[in-house]
């Protein structure tokens, strides 16, 4: 059975830093950017551990502003 690897693309300018995506992530991939803010002044989500993403889409489902797009790819 092939392994699935995921990748999350964050629309940085729409993200308001609610961190629901980070809480919903079962593999602790997402977190809020600690030092940088977007044009609206919010700390935005980013992939802290991209190699751990399983492409489950939990983050995209809970995002109230539809800022996340999840891609999946078969590996191996």
pLDDT, tens digit (0-9, with 9 covering 90-100), for 27-47: 999 999 999 999 999 999 999
**Strands 30-32 and 45-47: what pairing?**
antiparallel
Q: Is residue 1 pLDDT above 90, yes or no?
A: no
Share of the chain above pLDDT 90, in %: 91
- Contact of 66 with 20, CB cutoff 8 Å: no
* Neighbouring-strand partners of residue 47: 30
For the whole prediction, is pTM greater than 0.95?
no
Q: Which domains does the chain have, with CATH numbers?
A: 3-75 (3.30.70.20)
- Contact of 28 with 48, CB cutoff 8 Å: yes
Instruction: Give the up-direction half-sphere exposure of residue 43: CA atoms within 13 A in the CB hemisphere.
Output: 10
- Contact of 75 with 58, CB cutoff 8 Å: no
């Amino acid at each position: 059975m092939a392994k699935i690897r995921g990748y999350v693309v964050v629309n940085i300018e729409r993200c308001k830093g609610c961190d629901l995506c980070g809480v919903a992530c079962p593999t602790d991939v997402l977190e809020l950017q600690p030092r940088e803010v977007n044009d609206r002044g919010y700390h935005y989500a980013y992939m802290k551990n991209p190699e751990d993403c399983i492409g489950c889409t939990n983050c995209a489902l809970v995002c109230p502003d539809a800022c996340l797009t999840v891609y999946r790819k078969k590996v191996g």
